[in-house]
Structure 1
């Protein structure tokens, strides 16, 4: 499977900047959450989503052993080691130690990433050590 052009992935992801935060949404300029951002970028880079997104609640990842986001991403995207993630890669974050990964971002530079964050919407910010150490999984967008 060939990977999508990272420059294109980043340009499309940046076109979502300023989109307000809204749980379970995925509409550029209207509203999205972190997963909705990734889904929207997928649609523009790869094409239609391969399966419908089931409803989820805010605390969906607070309990349980299943890495739901990683398992879903594996169905559609080549997985890479987090240490090998470069700009254009989709990264999944563990927000607490020993919790499942439940936050999604897209690397836009060696030390920057873009994500949808509650109250702030889609923003690009530095990939600080605090964020970097939370990366649990990384994937690349396939070419359409």
Structure 2
């Protein structure tokens, strides 16, 4: 599996900027959450989604024995180490060190990322040390 062009991934992700936040939605310009943003970028860069996404909890502090989000991404994307992740990579954040990874963003540069955030919608912001240390997994979008 070859990775998609990172410039294309970033351009598509940026086309979602300003989309309002809406839990479990995935419609550009209408509403999405962080996973909905990633799903929308997937559809534009790779093609149809390979499987339906079941309803999920918004609880960033959720614990459990399985990294469900990472397992799903690993079935259809190219996993890389968080240290090797660069622009165009999908990153999964662990918002609490004891919790499973539940937040998703797309790196847009060495120190910036794009994500959908409650009350703010899709935004691009600095990848601060606080965000960087929460990255638990990283994946590359595959070519179409």
TM class, shorter-chain normalised?
over 0.9
Deviations 1:118-143 (A, max 9, x none): 00000000000000000000000000
SS in 1 for 2:35: helix
Task: Give distance in 2, aligned partners of 1:83 and 1:57.
Answer: 28
Moved over 6 A (4+): none
CA RMSD of aligned residues (A): 1.0
- Offset at residue 61 of structure 1 (A): 6.0
Whether the 8 Å contact between 2:33 and 2:116 is mirrored in structure 1 is yes
SS in 2 for 1:83: helix
* Corresponding residue for residue 49 of structure 2: 49
- Offset at residue 60 of structure 1 (A): 7.6
* Corresponding residue for residue 124 of structure 2: 124
Q: TM-score, normalised by structure 2?
A: 0.98
Asked if 1:20 is matched to 2:20, the reply is: yes
Q: TM-score, normalised by structure 1?
A: 0.98
* Corresponding residue for residue 142 of structure 1: 142
Which stretch of structure 1 is more off in the superposition, 60-69 or 129-138?
A: 60-69
Q: Any gaps of 5 or more consecutive residues in structure 2? A: none
How many residues align? The count is: 144
* Corresponding residue for residue 78 of structure 2: 78
Which stretch of structure 1 is more off in the superposition, 22-31 or 48-57?
A: 48-57
SS in 1 for 2:76: coil
